[in-house]
Structure 1
C-alpha cells in the first residue's frame, strides 16, 4: 500500500455568472446549507459532513476555481509542497494560514492541465449530524470527475505527484481508454479523469445516506424541474448508484450512494471495463442508455480557468 500524503477530498469550488440561481438550486433543492457569504463568494456545507464546506460558489465566468484535498498535518502539507516544487510544479501560493471558513493551513498549485488544486490540514471540524432515515439530502461530497484532453498523461501525473492509485478503467474498443477512477484512501474513487475534447468539469457527486434516501432525493430533484440526464442505475466501477442532473449553470451533478470500499489495497487489481457492455454502465439496466447525447452533456463548457488562479 502506498504511503499517501493526501487523506481525502475536501471541497469543490465553482464559478458561474448566475450565482443567485445556482445558490437557490444548491440550497433549496440539492440540500446543502449556506454557512458563510463574503460578497459574491458563498460557502455551502453538507449536514452530515465534518468539513466546514463542501461546495464554494463564486460569481464570475464559468470555471472550476479549486479542487481541494486534505492532509493529516502541517508536516505533510510541507512535505507535499516541497516534493511538488522540486519536480517543477507551478505553485500558486506557498503553505500559509488559510482565511476561509474553518481556517486551516495549506497551499495551492496547478496540476498538469492547469487546474488549481489546494492541499490543507488543521481545518476546524464543523458541527455536523447524523442524516436521518428517509432524509433526502447529501451526507458528503463523494467525488469529483474532470474532463481532460490528455487523460492518460493526467492520470500518470496524479499517480506520480500526489500518490493517487488507479482503481478501475472504462474503455471502448473503438475509442480506447475513456475514464480512470483514482483513489486517495479506501474509497474506490474520490477523483476520476475522463477523456474529453477539452478540459472541464465532468461531474461532481454527492453521497446520500442509503438507497432509500438516494431514491427520495432523486425524486425530489426531478420534481424541482431539473433535468435528469442519466439514471437511476448502478455502475459497475465503484458499484455505486447514480442519478445525474444538470444544474442551472450547465454542470452535471450526481446523487450516489454505496460507493465501494477497498479494504485490501495490496491485493486490488484494477479492472478494464468495456463501456459497450450494458452491465458496465448500469448493472441494474434501469437507466436510460448511455449514448453520444448523454456523453456530450458531461463534456461541459471549456474551462477557461486553466493556469489562472482564482482571486479567492
Structure 2
C-alpha cells in the first residue's frame, strides 16, 4: 500500500500590486491576524489554527499565485516525496532545505503540471492559537483551495500520482462531462480541488468558521460592508458544507464555509454529482442561481506567475 506523504493544507500565498488594500481587507474585514511582515510581505494567521500563517500577501507588479503549501509529517517524508518527484521528472524550484518563513521548518518547492509552485514542509513550529468563541465570526482555519485548469483531467491525475491525493467526489454537466474534482489528503472531504476553466488561475480559497451562526454573521458583515458577493449563502451537496463566496479587492474569490464533511477512507466511494441539479448546487435553495456570470467570476484572471518561482 502506497504511503501518503501529504497530511494537510498549510497556506496559500498570493501577490498583487495593491498590497495595502489586500491587507486591509483580510485583516479588518475577513478576520485574519497579521502576525509578521517584512519588506512588502504580510503573513496572516487564523486565530483558531495552529499553522503559523494560512495566507501570505506580497506586493508585486503582477497579480499571481505565489504558491500553495501542504504539510508532511516528518522531514524524512519530505525527502521521500522529493526523491519520487525527481525520479518522475518533476521540476524542483529548490531542494529540501531549512525554511526562513515564520515557524521555520524543512521543505521543498516544485512546479506542478500547470506551472503553479507547490511547497511541502515538515517540522514547522506550531503557533499559539485559541478557541474561537460563540458568535465570533472570524476564520478558524484554512479549509480548502481550488484552482482552475484548462486541462483539469491531467491536473487531477498529476496530484493523485505525485502527491497522493485521493478523489472524493466530482461535479459534472450533462453536455460537457466532469467540471470539478474534489481531492483529499486526510479525512476532510477535500483540501484541494480542480475546476475546469479557460486558463490556469486561482478559483477560490475557503475559510472554515466556528459554526452556522458565525458563518452567517461573517457573511452579513461582508454584505454590510459592500463586498461583492459572488454566490451564496447556501449549502453544497458535495462536501455538505455551507458557502458564501465573495471577491477580494483584486478579484480573487474567497469563501466562508463550515461543517465540511468528514469521510471514512476505508468505505468511501466517489460520486459524480449532476451540477445542474438545484439540490446539488445548494441544498437550502437560499443562494442566487449558479449561472455563467457566477462561474465567470471564479475563472479569475490568467495567472501571471505560471512556471515562474516567486522571489521569496
Matched, 1:160 2:170: no
Residue 186, structure 1, aligned to residue 220, structure 2 = no
**Displacement after TM superposition at 1:222 (Å):** 1.1
Measure, in 2, the Cα distance between the counterparts of 1:284 and 1:2.
39
Offset of residue 3 of structure 1: 2.7
Q: Which residue of 2 aligns with 1:295?
A: 295
Aligned to 1:74: 75
Question: Can you list the C-alpha shifts for 1:185-232, whole angstroms capped at 9, x where unaligned?
Answer: 000000000000000000000000010100011001111210111000
- 1:20 equivalent in structure 2: 20
Tell me how far apart the structure 1 counterparts of residues 206 and 185 of structure 2 sit (CA, whole Å). 16
Cα separation, 1, equivalents of 2:261 and 2:23:
30
| Alpha-carbon distance between aligned partners in 2 of 1:300 and 1:98, rounded to the nearest angstrom | 30
Within 2, Cα distance between the matches of 1:277 and 1:51?
37
Q: Following the alignment from structure 2 to structure 1, what is the Cα–Cα distance between the partners of residues 49 and 265?
A: 25
Question: Which residue of 1 is the match for residue 176 of structure 2?
Answer: 175
Query: TM-score scaled by structure 2?
Result: 0.99
| Local SS of the residue matching 1:265 | coil
Q: Deviations over 1:119-158 (max 9, x none)?
A: 0000000000000001000000000000001000110111
Shift of 1:176: 1.2
Corresponding residue SS for 2:266: helix
Q: C-alpha distance in 2, partners of 1:55/1:2?
A: 30
* Alpha-carbon distance in 1 for matches of 2:82, 2:267: 30
Q: Does 1:56 align with 2:56?
A: yes
**Is 1:230 aligned with 2:243?**
no
Structure 2 residue aligned with 1:141: 142
1:122 has 2:123 as partner: yes
Cα distance per residue 1:239-284 (max 9 Å; x no partner): 000000011010000000000001x212111000011110110011
Q: Give distance in 2, aligned partners of 1:33 and 1:304.
A: 27
Q: CA RMSD in A?
A: 0.7
1:169 and 1:7 map into 2 onto residues whose CA distance is 21
Shift of 1:2: 5.4
- 5+ residue gaps, structure 1, are none
Q: Where does residue 11 of structure 1 map in the other structure?
A: 11
Q: State the match for 1:266 in structure 2.
A: 266
Determine the structure 2 residue equivalent to 1:89. Answer: 90
Matched residues in 2 for 1:165 and 1:187: separation? 11
Q: Separation in 2 of the partners of 1:253 and 1:276?
A: 23
Between the aligned partners of 1:181 and 1:2, the Cα distance in structure 2 is: 20
Matches of 2:9 and 2:39 in 1, distance apart? 26
Q: In the aligned structure 2, how far is the partner of 1:165 from the partner of 1:124? A: 27
Which residue of structure 2 aligns with residue 216 of structure 1?
Answer: 217
Aligned to 1:283: 283
Task: Specify the SS of the correspondent of 1:279.
Answer: helix
